[in-house]
Structure 1
Amino acid sequence: MNGMSHDTLNAMFDAFNRHDIEAVMSYFADDIVFDTVSGSEAHGTRIEGREAVRAAFENTWGTQPDVQWLNGTHYFADERVVSESTFVATQPDGKRVEADSVDLFTVRDGKIVRKQAFRKQRPPFDPA
Protein backbone atom coordinates (compact mmCIF):
# COMPACT_ATOMS: atom_id res chain seq x y z
CA MET A 1 0.00 0.00 0.00
CA ASN A 2 1.10 3.58 -0.56
CA GLY A 3 0.45 4.93 2.93
CA MET A 4 -3.03 6.17 2.05
CA SER A 5 -6.29 4.57 3.11
CA HIS A 6 -10.00 5.29 2.83
CA ASP A 7 -9.88 6.88 6.28
CA THR A 8 -6.88 9.03 5.33
CA LEU A 9 -8.54 10.27 2.13
CA ASN A 10 -11.84 10.92 3.91
CA ALA A 11 -9.96 12.93 6.56
CA MET A 12 -8.21 14.95 3.83
CA PHE A 13 -11.48 15.74 2.07
CA ASP A 14 -13.03 16.68 5.42
CA ALA A 15 -10.14 19.13 5.89
CA PHE A 16 -10.78 20.54 2.39
CA ASN A 17 -14.46 20.97 3.25
CA ARG A 18 -13.58 22.76 6.53
CA HIS A 19 -11.13 24.93 4.55
CA ASP A 20 -8.41 23.96 7.04
CA ILE A 21 -5.25 24.73 5.09
CA GLU A 22 -2.84 23.37 7.72
CA ALA A 23 -4.64 20.03 7.83
CA VAL A 24 -4.95 19.87 4.03
CA MET A 25 -1.29 20.59 3.42
CA SER A 26 -0.22 17.88 5.87
CA TYR A 27 -1.20 15.33 3.19
CA PHE A 28 1.02 16.86 0.48
CA ALA A 29 4.76 16.54 -0.16
CA ASP A 30 6.95 19.63 -0.46
CA ASP A 31 7.45 18.94 -4.19
CA ILE A 32 3.72 18.61 -4.95
CA VAL A 33 2.59 19.17 -8.55
CA PHE A 34 -1.07 20.13 -9.00
CA ASP A 35 -2.71 20.05 -12.45
CA THR A 36 -5.94 22.04 -12.17
CA VAL A 37 -9.22 21.41 -14.00
CA SER A 38 -8.72 24.24 -16.47
CA GLY A 39 -6.01 26.21 -18.22
CA SER A 40 -4.39 26.78 -21.57
CA GLU A 41 -2.49 23.48 -21.58
CA ALA A 42 -3.84 19.95 -22.08
CA HIS A 43 -3.12 19.27 -18.39
CA GLY A 44 -4.89 22.48 -17.26
CA THR A 45 -2.74 24.86 -15.23
CA ARG A 46 0.26 23.27 -13.54
CA ILE A 47 1.07 24.56 -10.06
CA GLU A 48 4.32 23.37 -8.52
CA GLY A 49 5.59 23.43 -4.96
CA ARG A 50 3.98 23.46 -1.55
CA GLU A 51 3.53 27.23 -1.16
CA ALA A 52 2.09 27.72 -4.66
CA VAL A 53 -0.37 24.84 -4.17
CA ARG A 54 -1.32 26.19 -0.76
CA ALA A 55 -2.05 29.60 -2.30
CA ALA A 56 -4.17 27.96 -5.03
CA PHE A 57 -6.31 26.11 -2.47
CA GLU A 58 -6.73 29.28 -0.38
CA ASN A 59 -7.70 31.22 -3.52
CA THR A 60 -10.41 28.66 -4.33
CA TRP A 61 -11.83 28.99 -0.82
CA GLY A 62 -11.62 32.80 -1.06
CA THR A 63 -13.48 33.06 -4.36
CA GLN A 64 -15.96 30.26 -3.61
CA PRO A 65 -16.38 30.35 0.18
CA ASP A 66 -18.99 27.59 0.26
CA VAL A 67 -17.01 25.14 -1.92
CA GLN A 68 -17.29 21.47 -0.94
CA TRP A 69 -16.27 18.09 -2.32
CA LEU A 70 -19.07 15.68 -1.42
CA ASN A 71 -19.72 11.92 -1.50
CA GLY A 72 -16.07 10.89 -1.87
CA THR A 73 -15.23 7.39 -3.05
CA HIS A 74 -11.60 6.25 -3.30
CA TYR A 75 -9.83 3.50 -5.26
CA PHE A 76 -6.23 2.40 -4.75
CA ALA A 77 -3.69 1.00 -7.22
CA ASP A 78 -0.07 0.85 -6.10
CA GLU A 79 1.16 4.47 -5.79
CA ARG A 80 -2.00 5.87 -7.39
CA VAL A 81 -5.33 6.83 -5.83
CA VAL A 82 -8.51 7.73 -7.72
CA SER A 83 -11.01 9.84 -5.77
CA GLU A 84 -14.48 10.57 -7.10
CA SER A 85 -16.63 13.31 -5.59
CA THR A 86 -19.17 15.97 -6.44
CA PHE A 87 -17.79 19.50 -6.57
CA VAL A 88 -20.30 22.11 -5.37
CA ALA A 89 -19.73 25.86 -5.04
CA THR A 90 -21.21 29.28 -5.58
CA GLN A 91 -19.13 31.43 -7.90
CA PRO A 92 -18.50 35.14 -7.26
CA ASP A 93 -21.28 36.02 -9.75
CA GLY A 94 -23.79 34.03 -7.66
CA LYS A 95 -24.09 31.15 -10.12
CA ARG A 96 -23.88 27.62 -8.78
CA VAL A 97 -21.55 24.84 -9.88
CA GLU A 98 -22.39 21.20 -9.21
CA ALA A 99 -20.37 18.68 -11.16
CA ASP A 100 -18.90 15.22 -10.73
CA SER A 101 -15.14 15.31 -10.36
CA VAL A 102 -12.16 13.00 -10.14
CA ASP A 103 -8.77 13.52 -8.58
CA LEU A 104 -5.87 11.28 -9.56
CA PHE A 105 -3.26 11.29 -6.82
CA THR A 106 0.28 9.94 -6.99
CA VAL A 107 1.65 9.05 -3.56
CA ARG A 108 5.23 8.68 -2.35
CA ASP A 109 6.13 7.79 1.24
CA GLY A 110 2.57 8.47 2.41
CA LYS A 111 2.38 11.98 0.91
CA ILE A 112 0.70 13.18 -2.27
CA VAL A 113 3.27 14.29 -4.86
CA ARG A 114 0.87 14.86 -7.75
CA LYS A 115 -2.78 15.90 -7.88
CA GLN A 116 -4.51 15.83 -11.25
CA ALA A 117 -8.02 17.30 -11.07
CA PHE A 118 -10.79 16.58 -13.57
CA ARG A 119 -14.38 17.83 -13.52
CA LYS A 120 -17.38 17.44 -15.82
CA GLN A 121 -17.81 20.56 -17.89
CA ARG A 122 -21.26 21.62 -16.84
CA PRO A 123 -22.34 25.26 -17.14
CA PRO A 124 -22.94 27.17 -13.90
CA PHE A 125 -26.59 27.83 -13.20
CA ASP A 126 -28.76 30.27 -11.28
CA PRO A 127 -29.84 28.71 -7.98
CA ALA A 128 -33.57 28.29 -7.59
Structure 2
Amino acid sequence: MKELTHKMVDAVGDAFNANDIDEVMQYFAPNAIFDHAVGTEEHGVRFQGADVIRGVFSGLFEKVENVHWETLACGIVANKAYCEYRRTAKHKDG
Protein backbone atom coordinates (compact mmCIF):
# COMPACT_ATOMS: atom_id res chain seq x y z
CA MET A 1 0.00 0.00 0.00
CA LYS A 2 1.19 3.50 -0.82
CA GLU A 3 1.87 5.86 2.05
CA LEU A 4 -1.10 8.15 2.64
CA THR A 5 -0.04 11.79 2.32
CA HIS A 6 -1.76 15.15 2.05
CA LYS A 7 -0.60 15.24 -1.58
CA MET A 8 -2.53 12.02 -2.23
CA VAL A 9 -5.62 13.37 -0.45
CA ASP A 10 -5.40 16.51 -2.63
CA ALA A 11 -5.19 14.31 -5.75
CA VAL A 12 -8.35 12.50 -4.68
CA GLY A 13 -10.03 15.89 -4.22
CA ASP A 14 -8.90 16.97 -7.67
CA ALA A 15 -10.44 13.81 -9.17
CA PHE A 16 -13.73 14.47 -7.37
CA ASN A 17 -13.71 18.11 -8.51
CA ALA A 18 -13.15 16.98 -12.10
CA ASN A 19 -16.28 14.81 -11.67
CA ASP A 20 -14.23 11.94 -13.15
CA ILE A 21 -15.52 8.70 -11.66
CA ASP A 22 -12.78 6.56 -13.21
CA GLU A 23 -10.06 8.79 -11.75
CA VAL A 24 -11.84 8.88 -8.37
CA MET A 25 -12.07 5.10 -8.20
CA GLN A 26 -8.32 4.66 -8.69
CA TYR A 27 -7.97 5.73 -5.06
CA PHE A 28 -10.40 3.18 -3.60
CA ALA A 29 -9.45 -0.41 -2.77
CA PRO A 30 -11.99 -3.14 -3.60
CA ASN A 31 -12.93 -3.34 0.11
CA ALA A 32 -12.91 0.44 0.74
CA ILE A 33 -15.23 2.14 3.21
CA PHE A 34 -16.57 5.66 2.65
CA ASP A 35 -18.37 7.26 5.59
CA HIS A 36 -20.74 10.09 4.66
CA ALA A 37 -21.23 12.77 7.31
CA VAL A 38 -25.03 12.49 7.37
CA GLY A 39 -27.06 9.71 8.92
CA THR A 40 -28.13 8.35 12.26
CA GLU A 41 -25.07 6.18 12.94
CA GLU A 42 -22.05 7.73 14.67
CA HIS A 43 -20.08 7.34 11.42
CA GLY A 44 -22.95 8.62 9.27
CA VAL A 45 -24.08 6.61 6.27
CA ARG A 46 -21.47 3.99 5.43
CA PHE A 47 -20.80 2.82 1.88
CA GLN A 48 -18.75 -0.38 1.68
CA GLY A 49 -16.95 -1.75 -1.35
CA ALA A 50 -15.62 -0.07 -4.47
CA ASP A 51 -18.65 -1.04 -6.57
CA VAL A 52 -21.05 0.55 -4.08
CA ILE A 53 -18.90 3.68 -3.79
CA ARG A 54 -18.69 3.94 -7.59
CA GLY A 55 -22.48 3.73 -7.81
CA VAL A 56 -22.98 6.48 -5.23
CA PHE A 57 -20.66 8.97 -6.90
CA SER A 58 -21.60 8.03 -10.47
CA GLY A 59 -25.20 8.80 -9.53
CA LEU A 60 -24.20 12.14 -8.07
CA PHE A 61 -22.10 13.12 -11.10
CA GLU A 62 -25.02 12.25 -13.41
CA LYS A 63 -27.49 14.43 -11.46
CA VAL A 64 -25.46 17.64 -11.30
CA GLU A 65 -23.87 20.03 -13.78
CA ASN A 66 -20.78 20.12 -11.61
CA VAL A 67 -20.04 19.28 -8.02
CA HIS A 68 -17.15 20.82 -6.10
CA TRP A 69 -15.55 19.83 -2.81
CA GLU A 70 -13.65 22.48 -0.84
CA THR A 71 -11.31 21.07 1.80
CA LEU A 72 -11.96 22.73 5.16
CA ALA A 73 -9.72 20.48 7.27
CA CYS A 74 -7.84 17.24 6.83
CA GLY A 75 -5.82 15.07 9.17
CA ILE A 76 -4.02 11.81 8.51
CA VAL A 77 -3.56 9.08 11.11
CA ALA A 78 -1.72 5.96 9.93
CA ASN A 79 -3.57 4.84 6.79
CA LYS A 80 -6.75 6.89 7.31
CA ALA A 81 -7.60 10.42 6.25
CA TYR A 82 -10.19 12.34 8.24
CA CYS A 83 -11.36 15.25 6.12
CA GLU A 84 -14.04 17.89 6.34
CA TYR A 85 -15.36 19.30 3.07
CA ARG A 86 -17.90 21.83 1.92
CA ARG A 87 -19.71 20.44 -1.10
CA THR A 88 -21.50 22.68 -3.58
CA ALA A 89 -23.43 21.58 -6.63
CA LYS A 90 -26.14 22.64 -9.02
CA HIS A 91 -28.63 19.98 -10.06
CA LYS A 92 -29.22 19.65 -13.79
CA ASP A 93 -32.95 20.12 -13.22
CA GLY A 94 -32.35 23.39 -11.38
TM-score (norm: length of structure 2): 0.78
Unpaired runs of 5+ residues, structure 2, are none
CA deviation string 1:65-119 (max 9, x = no partner): 311102454222223222222211124563xxxxxxxxxxxxxxxxxxxxxxxxx
Cα RMSD over matched residues? 2.2
**Which residue matches 1:116?**
none
Residue pairs, 1:1-128, within 5 angstroms: 3-39=3-39, 41-42=40-41, 43-71=43-71, 73-91=73-91, 94=94
Residues paired across the two proteins, number: 92
Structure label with greater radius of gyration: 1
What fraction of aligned residue pairs are identical, expressed as a percent? Answer: 30
CA deviation string 1:28-75 (max 9, x = no partner): 110112233445x42443322111110111111111231110245422
CA distance in 1, matches of 2:79, 2:18: 27
Q: 1:6 to 1:26 in 2, by over 3 A?
A: same
CA distance in 2, matches of 1:29, 1:37: 20
In 1, are the aligned partners of 2:9 and 2:81 still within 8 Å (CA)? no
Q: SS at 2:65's partner residue?
A: coil
Unpaired runs of 5+ residues, structure 1, are 95-128
